[in-house]
């Protein structure tokens, strides 16, 4: 396993706007503050969400939607660079009114309320490059 050494940078605490799109909001927040690498968590609630599951044989994402309000029980993610642009990668666990959960790669979600804790990482830029074996854009470390 290869790794790279980073130092902790700024911490950003934010409340994401009602009706905003979760992935875009985090991406824009990082871009506006010049944050190229970070790790973050989000908790809150969403009005709806579209999640992905990566089919490892077909090398493509399958998606499914949550069309009702859900708790955003746990969302973790990171910020890095993909094709020179700020890129946010999020995974989340969502619970319905009975506590049943659905989880996956977050493609998009409409925020009802969301609290973000973002930790900037300072050091070598984490850049995503296409990986032949998985078909994914992975960190080039």
Name the site residues for Zn ion (rule: CB under 5 A). Answer: 105
Instruction: Count the alpha carbons within 13 Å of 12 in the hemisphere toward its beta carbon.
Output: 23
Nearer to Zn ion, 18 or 53 (CB): 53
The closest residue (CB) to Zn ion is 105
Collapsing DSSP to helix, strand or coil, 90 comes out as: strand
Locate 104 and state its tokens.
């996956």
Smallest gap from residue 105 Cβ to Zn ion (A): 3
Selection from 123, 72, 78 nearest residue 93 by Cα: 72
Smallest gap from residue 106 Cβ to Zn ion (A): 8
Smallest gap from residue 7 Cβ to Zn ion (A): 25
Locate 117 and state its tokens.
């804790």
- Residue 48 β-bridge partners: 110
Nearer to Zn ion, 50 or 105 (CB): 105
Nearer to Zn ion, 102 or 105 (CB): 105
């Amino acid at each position: 396993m290869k790794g790279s050494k980073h130092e902790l940078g700024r911490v950003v605490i934010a409340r994401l706007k009602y009706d905003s799109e979760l992935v875009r909001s985090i991406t824009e927040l990082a871009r506006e503050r010049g944050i190229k690498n970070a790790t973050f968590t989000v908790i809150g609630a969403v009005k709806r969400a579209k999640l992905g599951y990566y089919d490892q044989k077909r090398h493509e994402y399958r998606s499914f939607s949550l069309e009702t309000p859900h708790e955003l029980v746990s969302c973790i993610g990171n910020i890095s660079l993909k094709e020179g642009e700020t890129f946010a990668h999020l995974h989340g666990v969502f619970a319905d009114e009975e506590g049943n959960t659905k989880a996956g790669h977050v493609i998009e979600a409409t925020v009802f309320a969301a609290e973000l804790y973002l930790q900037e990482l300072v050091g070598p830029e984490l850049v995503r490059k296409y990986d032949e074996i998985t078909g994914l854009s992975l960190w080039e470390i």
